A and B are shown apart, each in its own frame.
Chain A
Amino acid sequence: MFEFVNTLLIGITAGSIYSLMAIAIVLVWRSTRVVNFAAGGIALASTFVGATILETTGSFWIALPVAMLAGAALSAFIEYFFLRPLLHRSGERTQEIFLPIIATLGILGVMKALLHFIYGEKIGVISPPLSDKGFIVSGESIALSPLRLMILGIVLVLMIGLTLIFQRTNLGLSLRAASFAPEISRLSGIRVDLIRTLGWAISGAAGATAGILQTVNGSGSVTPEAFEFSLLLVFGFVAAVIGGIESLIGAVIGGLTLGIILAIILMYVGGSLVFFSAFLILILVLLLRPHGIIGVKGGRRA
């Protein structure tokens, strides 16, 4: 029982980080219908920015928002200079549907190469601002530490913030309208191109946070080839698909579900099966519930 609760705690923490990555992917998908592999590169580059800021200022609480801003700027830059011209030119022909996907894969590769060029063999270090020693409950140390609590808190604050932005503000209404019906939105006076760039920017900030949290929750350091980031990208995609790829709430549910299942497998089955299990879940969801576990066929949710 004790072990199971610990496994759940580990799964929820990891899952909350996958949720953030899934949100990054869902935001771009909803605003431009692009499968954004570059999200992994944006998270990675922002984490390096965070590490550099942490090194110079010594403060995690300065490094995190700066990394988020860097992620937002980088993501908006990629949309504006690479995807926008591509999407304006591409039409309905089959080969052109693959163009944006190949472009984001290419951008991911270029970003990794650039990071390698800039940082070389140097690793980025994000030392946790809080202790990762578990709290003691009736004499035993549990899997919930001040650090894990902080991670959950940051994710929760961002989720609440995003929900408020999307449901309560004019910007949120523009973002939703532009993703559901770009033409009606333009006829209503929404500058859809600008709104799309903003959608990418918010996605970049979410991805940057996921990258920083993934690093402090893991080894505490990052390299341009970090396997942890490939996992983050893949798990973010799986979580987004589980949640139906259209919905922010779905992304959160998908991330938590995936985190918990993978933690259970890691604990009771074995680490070598984690990656395989993620793909198995992905395939099962695609076969059995192609619109996600909360998705309704044909009905998109705000």
Chain B
Amino acid sequence: MLRIKNLVVDHGAIRALHGVSISIEKGQLAAVIGANGAGKTTLLRTLSGLNKASDGSATWGDLNILHSKPESLVRHGISHVSEGKSVIPELTVAENLDLGALWRRNRKEAAQSKREVVELFPRLGERLSQRADSLSGGERQMLAIGRSMMSKPQLLLLDEPSLGLAPLVIEQIFQSIRDLTTAMGLTVLLVEQNAMGALKIADIGIVLNLGSIAASGSAAALRDDPAVRAAYLGF
């Protein structure tokens, strides 16, 4: 389980997170929603080791995840798909996927992961030898998630997978994320501005506002709470 306690993160003089505490049980899909600038990206980047925390703690099982490097957290099952279709456009689809499993010693298992990803996203399987910059926005997001799955993660950190995608594609991506979580027994921290879409697939929801938690609870309860709807969901 993921336990975040009083997490404080600064970007120079700007405090982005003011003591955030979040608990997620194993196998849960948690949606962190909030407007642009709320601190969602900062939260994920700190959990994956890209940003430094100023105060607080975060543990995944027995593992203390603050003060670790991203490349070693991956080896402990924590995988972060960063904001904005995080693929490498100059590489082929197959190379982007392979990249996620290069660190794995067991090549047979890595090949097995690749078969699973291609099964999950058949569109990627048809385009393995194409450069990633030839893919559509939705396919790139699939590739980014697929690369992350290549590292056989237990905790998946997803930063706005719906960003810049068409409504129909967003629905597909959200559905894939829900299916993945259940099928693989993943724990997922999904960060989204698309609050309604994220709360529909999530088990629990957390509303982040200007670096602090404004509300949290079961996703269904948050969706139905009139105060939360009016103040943070905008519908």
Could you tell me which A residues sit within 8 Å of B by CB distance?
A: 170, 173-174, 176-177, 180-181, 183-192, 299-302
Q: A189-B74, A189-B75, A189-B100 are in contact. List 14 more A-B contacts (CB 8 A).
A: A170-B98, A177-B99, A180-B90, A180-B91, A183-B50, A184-B99, A185-B88, A187-B81, A188-B74, A188-B100, A189-B102, A189-B103, A300-B90, A301-B90
Contacts of B102 in A (CB 8 A): 170, 173-174, 188-190
5 A-B pairs (CB sep. < 8 Å): A184-B87, A186-B70, A187-B48, A187-B81, A188-B99
* B79 close to chain A: CB less than 8 A: yes
Contacts of A301 in B (CB 8 A): 90
Contacts of B99 in A (CB 8 A): 173-174, 177, 184-185, 188, 190
Contacts of A300 in B (CB 8 A): 90
* B162 close to chain A: CB less than 8 A: no
A187 touches B88 (CB 8 A): no
| Number of B interface residues in the complex (CB < 8 A) | 26
Q: What is the CA–CA distance of A186 and B50 in the complex, to the nearest angstrom?
A: 9
* B6 close to chain A: CB less than 8 A: no
The answer, among A173, A187, A299, for a CB contact under 8 Å with B70, is A187
* B41 close to chain A: CB less than 8 A: no
User: Which 7 pairs across A and B sit closest by C-beta, in order of nearness?
Assistant: A189-B103, A189-B74, A186-B70, A181-B88, A188-B99, A188-B100, A186-B71
B90 touches A191 (CB 8 A): no
* B140 close to chain A: CB less than 8 A: no
Distance between B113 CB and nearest chain A CB, rounded to angstroms: 13
A187 touches B80 (CB 8 A): yes
Closest chain A residue to B104 by CB distance? A189
* B40 close to chain A: CB less than 8 A: no
A176 touches B74 (CB 8 A): no
Interface string of B45-77 (1 = CB under 8 A from A): 000101000000000000000000111001100
* B147 close to chain A: CB less than 8 A: yes
Q: What is the CA–CA distance of A181 and B75 in the complex, to the nearest angstrom?
A: 19
Distance between B131 CB and nearest chain A CB, rounded to angstroms: 9
* B181 close to chain A: CB less than 8 A: no
Contacts of B91 in A (CB 8 A): 173, 176-177, 180, 302
Distance between B226 CB and nearest chain A CB, rounded to angstroms: 39
The answer, among B88, B95, B98, B150, for a CB contact under 8 Å with A184, is B88
Contacts of A299 in B (CB 8 A): 90
Q: What is the CA–CA distance of A302 and B81 in the complex, to the nearest angstrom?
A: 23
Closest chain A residue to B131 by CB distance? A302
With A177-B99, A188-B74, A188-B99 already in contact, the answer to whether A302 and B90 are too (CB < 8 A) is yes
The answer, among A174, A176, A187, for a CB contact under 8 Å with B86, is A187
B151 touches A188 (CB 8 A): yes
Distance between B189 CB and nearest chain A CB, rounded to angstroms: 14
Contacts of A176 in B (CB 8 A): 90-91, 95
Distance between B147 CB and nearest chain A CB, rounded to angstroms: 6
Q: What is the CA–CA distance of A173 and B100 in the complex, to the nearest angstrom?
A: 11
B147 touches A186 (CB 8 A): no
Q: What is the CA–CA distance of A193 and B150 in the complex, to the nearest angstrom?
A: 22
Closest chain A residue to B150 by CB distance? A188
B151 touches A189 (CB 8 A): yes
A188 touches B90 (CB 8 A): no
Q: What is the CA–CA distance of A136 and B90 in the complex, to the nearest angstrom?
A: 48
Q: What is the CA–CA distance of A190 and B81 in the complex, to the nearest angstrom?
A: 15
B71 touches A177 (CB 8 A): no
Interface string of B12-50 (1 = CB under 8 A from A): 000000000000000000000000000000000000101
Q: What is the CA–CA distance of A191 and B69 in the complex, to the nearest angstrom?
A: 10
The answer, among B82, B95, B98, for a CB contact under 8 Å with A187, is B82
Kindly name the residue among A174, A190, A192 whose own CB sees the greatest number of chain B CB atoms within 10 A.
A190
Q: What is the CA–CA distance of A183 and B89 in the complex, to the nearest angstrom?
A: 14
Closest chain A residue to B94 by CB distance? A173
A191 touches B88 (CB 8 A): no
Q: What is the CA–CA distance of A174 and B100 in the complex, to the nearest angstrom?
A: 10
Q: What is the CA–CA distance of A185 and B79 in the complex, to the nearest angstrom?
A: 12
Distance between B203 CB and nearest chain A CB, rounded to angstroms: 25
Q: What is the CA–CA distance of A180 and B99 in the complex, to the nearest angstrom?
A: 13
The answer, among B69, B81, B95, B98, for a CB contact under 8 Å with A186, is B69
Q: What is the CA–CA distance of A188 and B104 in the complex, to the nearest angstrom?
A: 11
